[in-house]
Amino acid sequence: MSRFMVCALFICTLLFICDRFTNGIELEDIPTINVDKSQNSSFSSIQAAINSVPSNNKKWISISVSAGVYKEKVEIPSDKPFIYVKGEGMGRTRVVWNGHGSILTSATFTSLADNILVSGITFMNAYNYPPSKNVNPVMPAVAARISGDQSAFHECGFLGYQDTLLDDKGKHYFSLCTVEGAVDFIFGNGQSIYEKCNIVLNVGVLNPNSTGYIAAQARHTPDETSGFVFKHCSVRGKGHALLGRAWKAYSRVIYYASSLSNLVVPRGWDAWNFVGHESRITFVEEECEGAGSNKSKRVAWEKTLTRQELKSFTSISYIDSGGWIRRLPIHIDV
């Protein structure tokens, strides 16, 4: 056999191995629990499937959720890590509930565990959504609360009006997701990158002149590493909005290389309860484009980062210095 043929055989074998494995995990060997509303499987509810996972699980378990609308409140408790919840697409698999009032208890989906992966599912809080059909008074109504560390969401939807996505704490990665809302609809103290996500404003559905707020980040102290980074995202929708406002004293929000539509209010940002202390706040826009990206009328205290600072926040290492994303049971381009 020629040296060329030996080399070709080696490459083909390597590709075969790589095809069967993702980051060292053999996909076909991951236990799978099936959820189907037609009751043709072991479980007809997502929560029942989660409840069946052993506490303090140390290996990945997949919960495969068939297409359909699941009207239930779902929670992954803190003692059930390494769960991969897989739907059939954000337009086909939906979880819907109508909790409201408390940002900590109203969420349709709550994830308290570390090492969680979710793909192909939409989480909706129907209390004020869709706004075109809303008959309830507006109040906090969370679609998802993410409080565990090392959690990733790929091609997922989060639909609500006020306080849609509580990015509460921990390091998180949102890839190719859609988040829709009106007021502080991405909020919390998470350390997160949103990459190639659609950020959709719906505050103007009923009144085109209404103004909302996209991000309300809650970094409390200068020592905390938390912050929201919107990277290669699209910001669009109906109405007008501030890019963010400071929920806590050291709030940090960065829009990088994103497309901003004309819904963005020219001043861009709001200090909220921290007027006079704006120097503590880190609100940044770099290399953005679109009708809403003109910074000539932005607040004077908007920050400008050095190239090295910008790289440190927009690199995947900001949330993944140890390589946890590469160890997920599916491959996500980062």
Show the tokens assigned to 288. Answer: 């953005």
How far apart (Å, rounded) are the C-alpha atoms in residues 60 and 34? 15
163, 168, 270, 320: the active-site residue:
163
Say whether 184 is catalytic.
yes
| CA 69 to chain centroid | 20
**Nearest one of 292, 286, 274 to 236, comparing CA atoms:** 292
Q: Which helix (H) or strand (E) holds 312?
A: helix 307-314
Residue 49, helix vs strand vs coil: helix
Contact 205, 212 (CB under 8 A): no
Report residue 48: phi and psi, to 5°: -60, -40
Which residues have CB under 8 Å from 302's CB, separation 6+? 268, 269, 283, 284, 285, 295
Residue 57, helix vs strand vs coil: coil
- Tracing tokens 């053999």 back to the chain, one arrives at 26
Show the tokens assigned to 310. Answer: 């910008």
92 burial level (CB within 10 Å; 0-12, 13-18, 19+):
middle
How far apart (Å, rounded) are the C-alpha atoms in residues 175 and 153? 6
167, 168, 184, 320: the active-site residue:
184
How far apart (Å, rounded) are the C-alpha atoms in residues 248 and 189? 9
Catalytic residues: 163, 184
